[in-house]
Amino acid sequence: MADLILTGASRGIGAALARALTERGTEQLFLVARDAVRLEALARPSGGRAVVVPGDLSTLQGARELGARLAGLVAPGATLVHNAGLWPAKRALTEDGLETAFVVNHLAPLVMQRPLLDTGLVRRILVVSAGLLVKGRFDAARTPTGRDFSGVRTYCTTKLCLALAMRDVAAERPEVDVAVLHPGVVRTDLGARPGPVGWLLKWVKRSWESPEVCGERLARVLDRERWSAPGEARWYFEETAQPWPPNTEDAATRQAVRDTTARLLAHA
């Protein structure tokens, strides 16, 4: 039975995917999120096949500790699903002095996966990204600290950053199969806002796809033997492989994200 690490498993798409995978019974699951109570409730019906690994991806230290802990738990050949995500309404800084979504959506997954890759434990990585990455615009001087914060664009930019970084990971580690995927437009609490805007958003979301439909779709993607050619990450829109969007091909953006990420993670 292969091991599968799923971040953001406590709610929304992650919880639905965890339930779909539990029903299939083909993986030993490691469920990651901050809310241990919700994770325990998800793990209970699995008969011991789901292990709860509470962790916080909003600091580099938390991500490092999580990666080290997972590296001590999983067996070689594991699948890693980076699903945890944040769409913030306001600029907030982490204890590292960085914008929170830039950490949760971009830097923390890279820090967390390091020990798993360095020990050869992970065979493939699925990144639950967002089609909205096409709206991302990275500014090396301002994005990391959120000085260019926008209630919409920051989310898009942080999703763009991780997608670009994972393309580099795939190139550096051809033995790892990497897919970056838009999961669908799904009725979850992502981007929830207080007040009338939040109420309106909730109302609009009523017609969106249920997390269960998305969870089943992701489980089908996970069933595939292979996602990408060695040395390349592939971009999927739901279940269909597509050409990478134009802004993910921009050489200057790719270099800026690469350099900034390397600088910020040099001592992480």
Ligand X SMILES: NC(=O)c1ccc[n+]([C@@H]2O[C@H](COP(=O)([O-])OP(=O)(O)OC[C@H]3O[C@@H](n4cnc5c(N)ncnc54)[C@H](OP(=O)(O)O)[C@@H]3O)[C@@H](O)[C@H]2O)c1
What residues make contact with ligand X under the rule CB under 6 A? 8-14, 33-35, 56-58, 83-86, 104, 128, 130, 182-183, 185-186, 188-190
Nearer to ligand X, 158 or 228 (CB): 158
| Least spacing, CB of residue 55 vs ligand X, in Å | 6
Q: Please report, for residues 52, 130, 141, the alpha-carbon distance to residue 156 in angstroms, rounded to integers and kept in the order given.
A: 29, 8, 17
| Least spacing, CB of residue 223 vs ligand X, in Å | 19
List 177's β-bridge partners, or say none: 124
| Least spacing, CB of residue 96 vs ligand X, in Å | 13
At residue 26, φ and ψ (nearest 5 deg) are -100, -10
Contact 130, 159 (CB under 8 A): yes
Nearer to ligand X, 190 or 268 (CB): 190
Q: Please report, for residues 61, 97, 148, 161, 211, the alpha-carbon distance to residue 108 in angstroms, rounded to integers and kept in the order given.
A: 9, 14, 20, 12, 24
| Least spacing, CB of residue 7 vs ligand X, in Å | 6
Judging by beta carbons within 10 Å of its beta carbon (0-12, 13-18, 19+), is residue 169 exposed, middle or buried? middle
Nearer to ligand X, 183 or 251 (CB): 183
Q: Please report, for residues 52, 57, 173, 251, the alpha-carbon distance to residue 14 in angstroms, rounded to integers and kept in the order given.
A: 13, 15, 26, 32
CA distance 27 to 2: 5
Nearer to ligand X, 83 or 247 (CB): 83
Q: How many CB atoms lie within 10 A of CB 126?
A: 26
| Least spacing, CB of residue 106 vs ligand X, in Å | 11
Nearer to ligand X, 104 or 264 (CB): 104
Tokens 């999927």 appear where?
236
Nearer to ligand X, 66 or 176 (CB): 66
Nearer to ligand X, 136 or 183 (CB): 183
Read off the amino acid at residue 265: L
CA distance 157 to 238: 20
| Least spacing, CB of residue 191 vs ligand X, in Å | 8
| Least spacing, CB of residue 113 vs ligand X, in Å | 14
Please give the distance of CA 242 from its chain centroid, rounded to a whole number: 19
